[in-house]
Chain A
Amino acid sequence: ELKVEQNPLFLSMQEGKNYTIYCNYSTTSDRLYWYRQDPGKSLESLFVLLSNGAVKQEGRLMASLDTKARLSTLHITAAVHDLSATYFCAVGYTNAGKSTFGDGTTLTVKP
């Protein structure tokens, strides 16, 4: 069974601090997505990572992929309140016809 585990599931942090969200998956993947979801809204695609060692950055968010460890990280640098949201990772498998989502990490950034 394909499994995608995110941790932590809940994260409360102070503005200006750094933190990392982890996404572990159980089977070799073809690609990995990170999404953001604001309360009451749909999911928005942030990053897609295609190969081992891939790194993508936008603003204060940086995502990386280690396919050998089956691990992706979403690093938050100098958090600001606007980053408060739920972040999901999802893993795609070409032969599966569908992707598998983690349970999401709810991030709250406090002043």
Chain B
Amino acid sequence: AQSVTQLDSQVPVFEEAPVELRCNYSSSVSVYLFWYVQYPNQGLQLLLKYLSGSTLVKGINGFEAEFNKSQTSFHLRKPSVHISDTAEYFCAVSDRDSNYQLIWGAGTKLIIKP
């Protein structure tokens, strides 16, 4: 069965520094990949998704992610973070084994230090 691993539960980073949030999944056969963000006391919001095509996906708020099939990874990156990026970030995967329902990672809290 598909599983999603977000290796870092928390990532502290200084404001204006680059950041990478890591996501690995277990099965690489025909997957769809998603990153969602959860701001405090708000609902989850889609940042970006990979369905097919170019492996570099650009999303909202300056985030991007790269699909790497051989490493079964979909890491999220931003070249320069802002205090407003403080939130929890979730990686999710869907595939045929999950009947195309979303399987979620445990989340990574991005902590921006001034």
The judgment on whether A and B are partners is no
Residues in chain A within 8 A of chain B (CB atoms): none
